[in-house]
Amino acid sequence: MYCVQEIAPRVFWVGGSDRRLERFENMFPLPGGVSYNAYLILDEKTALFDTVDSSVADLYLENVAHVLDGRKLDYLVISHMEPDHSAVIAEILRRYPEVQVVGNQKTFQLLGQFFTPELGKNRLVVQENQELSLGESLLRFTFAPMVHWPEVIFTWEATRGILFSADAFGSFGALAGNLFADEVDITDGYLDEARRYYANIVGRYGVQVQSAMKKLAGRDIRMICPLHGLLWRKDLPCILEKYDLWSRYEPEKKGVALFYGSMYGNTENAASVLCNKLAQRGVTDMRMYDVSKTHPSYLISDAWKYSHLVFASPTYNLHLYFPMETLLQDMGVLGLKNRKVAVLGCHSWASAAAKRMEELLSAMKEMELLTPPMDIRSSLKPEGEADMDALADAIAASLSGK
């Protein structure tokens, strides 16, 4: 049966959730599933905002038909062409052959690439800030290139102050009846998932997020409707402030996240000793992760959150232990910057890890190495304690702003 909600007068949520999918983009674990939001406005004209992933296509098509209740569909607005939102376009066009497809030049180029050049020939190619009246509802299209695809369009509905924000302000996590952030306890894991989504999916494009947010400044925005996760209404400042911080690569929390790789426990022991010493220096609420155990998307999320990052890893085959190499490469590609960092290597006969970690961190912007990389031979010994104390002192001093 259809499953829809009227989220504002004559504006309907017509999406669906998938709790079965193991990994988003076949990469990112989805312990709480994911939602594919889509919206439908009924006015003198009707407008559908995006389609959904194929996994929820049947429900979505039933939702759309239920809300339209026999009316014709006038517009299908495409925010971007990523298949988790565009998979059902061809079916919508088949069922509603008179619908006009709304997008920009790049949208239609990608539409042709994903489908066929002949698809969706009834087009409205919009320009930046172009308006479209549906009756009482007035749409204005704002381009948000590379947030996170080149053709991304945000649509602002001026009468109700609704922003249809594409993937921006979205999150992993299926929806459970409550569609709005003010209807759930967002501090109970949701904001962590929103950060994990942002950092891994949008993180590279901080500059473009800042540009898009500047374009929206001064607009009357009373509701944000993203394509994944909860909708924002009463808590708008919360998500806007988070997006501003995340896209400026400013840490949310002054604190330590330590990432270690370890084959037989020796590097792990050194990492534990360091955290112990930091605790004795008054550092609280630290995070410590085994890079072989925890999926990199969670590590990236905490790297976005914390101000001080420590990387500890053994040398492996005269290179850096691969899970750590992967994490640091990922961080580099996502453009993380502006962190205080420390490096702890471990080797038995040839040292490569410490040097490589330093090299990868130096290639990122505004990464301040707090001390020269420390390098342990096989296992930490009491003779090495003074060096570990010095490292702990440097991190603690930096945290307290000395």
- Kindly state the DSSP code that residue 263 receives in the 8-state scheme: S
Task: Please identify, using beta-carbon distances, which residue of 167 and 325 lies nearer to Fe ion.
Answer: 167
Give the pair of three-digit tokens for residue 12: 């309907």
CB of 202 to Fe ion, least distance (A): 9
Which residue is at the shortest CB distance from Fe ion? 82
Taking CB under 5 A as the rule, does residue 358 contact Fe ion? no
The count of residues interacting with Fe ion (CB under 5 A) is 4
In the complex with Fe ion, the residue whose CB is nearer, 167 or 302, is 167
Residue 295 beta carbon to Fe ion: minimum distance, rounded to whole angstroms: 19
Closest distance of CB 82 from Fe ion, Å? 4
**Cβ neighbours of residue 241 under 8 Å, at least 6 residues apart?**
none
* Region near Fe ion per CB under 5 A, out of 83-91, 154-162, 241-249, 373-381: 83-91
Which of helix, strand or coil describes residue 101? strand
Q: Which residues contact 332 (CB under 8 A, 6 or more apart)?
A: 360, 363, 364
Shortest separation between residue 99's beta carbon and Fe ion, angstroms: 21
- Judged by CB under 5 A, the residue of 167, 302, 330, 358 near Fe ion is 167
Pick the stretch among 80-88, 92-100, 285-293, 376-384 that binds Fe ion (CB under 5 A): 80-88
Pick from 16, 15, 51, 28: nearest CA to 198: 28
CB of 84 to Fe ion, least distance (A): 4
Least distance (Å) from Fe ion to the CB of residue 201? 7
| Piece in contact with Fe ion (CB under 5 A), picked from 59-67, 124-132, 160-168, 181-189 | 160-168
User: 3-state secondary structure string, 164-215?
Assistant: ECCCCCCCCECCECECEHHHCCCCCCHHHHHHHHHHHHHHHHHHHHHHHHHH
Q: How far is the CB of 350 from Fe ion (least distance, A)?
A: 43
The 261-290 site mask, x for binding Fe ion (CB under 5 A), equals: ------------------------------
Q: Binders of Fe ion among 214-233, rule CB under 5 A?
A: 227
Candidates 309, 290, 303; CA nearest to 331 is 303
DSSP one-letter code for 117: T
Q: Helices 236-247 and 190-197, interaxial angle, to 10°? A: 40
User: Taking each helix axis from N to C terminus, what angle separates 322-333 and 296-305, rounded to the nearest 10 degrees?
Assistant: 50
Given candidates 50, 74, 84, 193, which one binds Fe ion under the rule CB under 5 A? Answer: 84
For residue 49, CA distances in Å to 37, 39, 148, 301 come to 9, 5, 17, 29
Q: Which residues of 271-287 are buried (b: 16+ CB within 10 A; e: fewer)?
A: bbbbbebbeeeebeebb
> Residue 25 or residue 244: which is nearer to Fe ion going by CB?
25
Choose, by CB under 5 A, the member of 50, 74, 82, 330 that binds Fe ion. 82
Q: Select the span of 45-53, 78-86, 109-117, 353-361 touching Fe ion (CB under 5 A).
A: 78-86
Residue 165 vs 351, nearer CB to Fe ion:
165
Q: State the minimum distance, in angstroms, from the CB of residue 142 to Fe ion.
A: 17
Q: Which amino acid is at 310?
A: V
C-beta of residue 227 within 8 angstroms of C-beta of residue 170: yes
Closer CB to Fe ion, 89 or 391, in the complex: 89
74/82 with CB nearer Fe ion: 82
CB under 5 A: which stretch of 56-64, 98-106, 161-169, 314-322 binds Fe ion? 161-169
CB of 3 to Fe ion, least distance (A): 20
Rounding to the nearest 10 degrees, give the CA dihedral for residues 115, 118, 119, 121: 150
DSSP state of 264: S
Q: Which residues contact Fe ion (rule: CB under 5 A)? A: 82, 84, 167, 227
